[in-house]
Chains A and B, each alone.
Chain A
Amino acid sequence: MATGRTPIAIIDYGVGNLRSLANAIEEIGHEPELIDDPEVLLKADRIILPGVGAIEPAMRTLRTNGFVEPIFECAKRGTPILGVCLGMQLLCTSSYENGTHEALDLIDAEILPFDPDVGLKIPHIGWNSISWDQTHPLLDGIAPSSDVYFVHSFHASCQHDSNVLAWTEYGEKFASMLVKDNILGAQFHPEKSQYVGLKILQNFVGL
């Protein structure tokens, strides 16, 4: 468990609201560092990859800002990386949002739309529960079926069940948290999921 204020790198590639994540990191007593320089990222001990909106412009911006290679390098070194919402989707192989787009491929998963025929409201917005089969330090102290805040229209489908850290039901059972060694992902927003979310972020700092 880390002691004192640990710096947490939040990749700032010019999209979305990073303030919420930074506020949450401060709330749990650590130091958010918004990183817009890919070179600086290489020095980070913990990395959060945020993201909202569509995958294609986000992936393009990550590339043009030179973050792709440093992320691969950190992933290879074993630095814990947590993708949040679209950030989680960016860690996957490919996405079918507005065409087919390749992503970072750090986790063997595809990003698919919810089945429109089920009559669900899209986006999936609101508090929904997570459940899991395997224990993991990221879920320490979290009660099964805890509610967390989701807002998304696409979801991950993993090639291997071992990469599914948690499941959520919305018309179908989908992977709401991903894991592959030091690569972690949450489809929901831990920074907006009150106690449960802050606890998950604290667990991430403690990895």
Chain B
Amino acid sequence: MLKQRMIAVLILRNGQVVQSIRFKHTNVIHADPIHAMEAFNKWAVDEIVLLNVSLEPSSAEKFVEIIHRISRECFVPLSVGGWITSEDYAQQLLRSGADKLVVNSIVSEAPELVTRLSESYGRQCIVASIDVCRSEGNDTAVAVDRGRRIVTSSPGDWAKRCVELGAGEIFFNSISHDGARRGYDLENLKAVCSAVGVPVIAFGGVMTWEHMAEGLRAGADAVAAANIFHYTEQATRKAKSYLADEGFRMRVEGRAFAQAGNDAIDG
């Protein structure tokens, strides 16, 4: 039976893991992302998403080095994004150990590149990130380029467009909910889930394990969080046990290979 996934997101600025609040990144959580990675490996996390939010294009090169190091410790799928603007760079990321590419701005600015990447590496390799935001009047919009440019008012239509271009998965994020600790933007999450037939990852706003349960009930196939996982010991393990008690299908095994040795398998 297919499990519902729990995904840890690491937001990187200048190579450091930072806290994200409404797409502003000030607090450094980990100076070296490898430490966060080691913890998540032990805590039964199902997947890792690594996003480079640095404003400087020159950060792209250092990001490749980080992926190279992180992927040596990462035995769950690793999705990476930020500054993917060429086929060459995408290939560098994959050759360094990334499994999937998270694309955002190029869906609007270079849609043909999304399709080419999908054709080269397969649909399963392309995760389209959709950033929704709410106006003061609570109207929804979809933005690209770190929330700076609005492209449409319909997250559902944008999600369909991403899939038509070749995305095999949708990463749903909300700028208004990011770091706001009030749970996912459920209304827009539902709209995206019902618009497409590919898996949807919910992100943005988790403060409690119940927020994750809400995301799954809204139709998401996977629930993601960032800040909360860094500040809670054994976070993903606790979150999974909460969700399992709520009746969701979670993977429980999660020991690192070296720890498990020849013992019977955990869980």
Please give me the residue from chain B that is nearest to A129 by CB atom.
B1
Chain A residues touching B, majority SS: mixed
Query: Would you call A192 and B257 a contact (CB within 8 A)?
Result: no
Q: Which of A127, A147, A151, A170 has the most CB of B within 10 A?
A: A127
B5 at the interface (CB under 8 A from A): yes
Known A124-B2, A127-B2; contact A195-B253, beta-carbon cutoff 8 A = yes
Q: Across the A-B interface, how many residue pairs have beta carbons closer than 8 Å? A: 128
Measured in the bound complex, the distance between the Cα atoms of B256 and A121 in whole Å is 30
Chain B residues near A189 (CB, 8 Å)?
77
A102 at the interface (CB under 8 A from B): no
Task: Specify which of A23, A122, A149 is in contact with B77 (CB 8 Å cutoff).
Answer: A149
Please give me the residue from chain A that is nearest to B100 by CB atom.
A151
Chain B residues touching A, majority SS: loop
A169 at the interface (CB under 8 A from B): yes
Chain A residues near B175 (CB, 8 Å)?
none
Comparing A24-32, A36-44, A179-187, the segment that makes contact with chain B is A24-32
B130 at the interface (CB under 8 A from A): no
Chain B residues near A127 (CB, 8 Å)?
2-3, 5, 46, 251
A99 at the interface (CB under 8 A from B): no
Q: How far is the CB of A111 from chain B (nearest CB, A)?
A: 14
Chain B residues near A16 (CB, 8 Å)?
94, 121
Query: Would you call A195 and B77 a contact (CB within 8 A)?
Result: no
Query: Would you call B260 and A195 a contact (CB within 8 A)?
Result: yes
Please give me the residue from chain A that is nearest to B125 by CB atom.
A52
Which parts of A119-143 form the interface with B (CB within 8 Å)?
121-129, 141-143
B81 at the interface (CB under 8 A from A): no
Query: Would you call B257 and A199 a contact (CB within 8 A)?
Result: yes
Chain B residues near A198 (CB, 8 Å)?
75, 257
Q: How far is the CB of B193 from chain A (nearest CB, A)?
A: 10
Chain A residues near B95 (CB, 8 Å)?
17, 19
A162 at the interface (CB under 8 A from B): no
Query: Would you call A193 and B75 a contact (CB within 8 A)?
Result: yes
Q: How far is the CB of A40 from chain B (nearest CB, A)?
A: 20
Q: How far is the CB of A163 from chain B (nearest CB, A)?
A: 23
Task: Specify which of B46, B98, B257 is in contact with A126 (CB 8 Å cutoff).
Answer: B46
* Residues 47-85 of chain B, each 1 if its beta carbon lies under 8 Å from chain A, else 0: 000000000000000000000100110111110000000
Measured in the bound complex, the distance between the Cα atoms of B119 and A149 in whole Å is 22
A-B contact pairs, 26 of them (CB 8 A): A17-B97, A19-B94, A19-B97, A20-B78, A20-B97, A20-B99, A23-B71, A23-B75, A27-B72, A27-B75, A52-B125, A53-B120, A53-B125, A121-B221, A122-B198, A123-B123, A128-B1, A128-B3, A151-B77, A152-B124, A191-B75, A193-B75, A195-B253, A195-B256, A197-B75, A199-B257
- Chain A residues in the interface with B (C-beta under 8 A): 16-17, 19-20, 23-24, 26-28, 52-54, 86, 121-129, 141-143, 146-147, 149, 151-153, 169-170, 189, 191-199
| Top-9 shortest CB links A-B | A53-B122, A19-B97, A198-B257, A147-B251, A127-B3, A151-B124, A143-B265, A127-B251, A17-B94
